Amino acid sequence: MSEERGKSQFFFIAALLVVVVVPISLSCWLLNIATNNFYGAEYRWRPVSPFRWLISLVLPLFITSFGVKKKSLSKSGALADHGCGEMPIDFASNYGATWLGMGILGALACSCGDTLASEMGTVLGTAEPRLLTTLERVPRGTNGGVSPAGLLFSIAGGFLIGLSYYVALLLFIPRDVLEISTEQWPVLLVGAISGLLGSLIDSFLGATLQFSGFCQERNCIVERPADCVRHISGCAVLDNHSVNMLASLFTALLTPRIALYMWSFCS
């Protein structure tokens, strides 16, 4: 009986892909090409490949089907036991919700920490940045360059995200629930560590997989090689958006483990 049900689900998904998903992805691709032909030259749009349209439609369907099969997805679309309500951080009783919450905290702390380090550290810092991989002095704006001020601002950015998380817990969780839960204040330290970690991961990826060079004609740092550009560091594999995405992803995956050790140490 289970084998027949599995076969029926397989054929249903295959039919759904052929009849619905593939035509929709191709239609979006054709619409994107038509829009690019009319407005691409003015706004510098680039048509998105049909493969990316297909992935953006197929991946949510597979995630949804997996959630329905595991009975961890409600009819409203929210993950069971991890809905819209705030839950205290507690790996013992709310492991799944805590893991997801710490992952999101890590991604946001990485983004905020790296942004403050790049913007505020460059403006307010007085020390010349050094390349993370070799510790050589590099011009300001070089991908992978770190400075004491930038590292401090990355910690501050992560701490700000942790503080926001902590305040939300105090405001939206009943006091009686907080009293029987573990201490919530370590989220401040987790946020600060995640901000620093995310900034370091971003700098490492920028120093190795993102090109940085000095353009002698424009007298500035550029991210693409050219005849008039003197190479400083990295190779042209990733752009700035890819580096930010990977840094946020890696930090989000590492933060729950850091939080688990932090709560084990503090409790």
* DSSP labels, 123-135: HH--SPPEETTT-
Position 103: which residue type? G
* pLDDT band with cut points at 50, 70 and 90 for residue 84: very low
DSSP 233: E
Between CA 107 and CA 116, with CA 111 as vertex, the angle to 5 degrees is 150
HEC string for 140-181: CCCCCEECHHHHHHHHHHHHHHHHHHHHHHHHHCCHHHHHCC
Q: Is the dihedral of CA 84, 171, 177, 112 positive or negative?
A: positive
3-state helix, strand, coil in the chain (%, to 5): 65, 5, 30
Mean pLDDT of 26-34: 70
pLDDT tens digits for range 41-80 = 554 555 566 666 666 666 766 666 666 666 655 554 444 4
* 100 contacts: CB under 8 Å, gap ≥ 6: 79, 82
Nearest-angstrom CA–CA distance, 162 and 158: 6
Q: Which pLDDT value is given to residue 141?
A: 80
pLDDT tens digits for range 109-164 = 999 998 998 888 777 877 888 888 888 888 888 888 888 998 999 999 999 999 99
Higher pLDDT, 224 or 254: 254
pLDDT tens digits for range 227-241 = 788 888 878 888 888
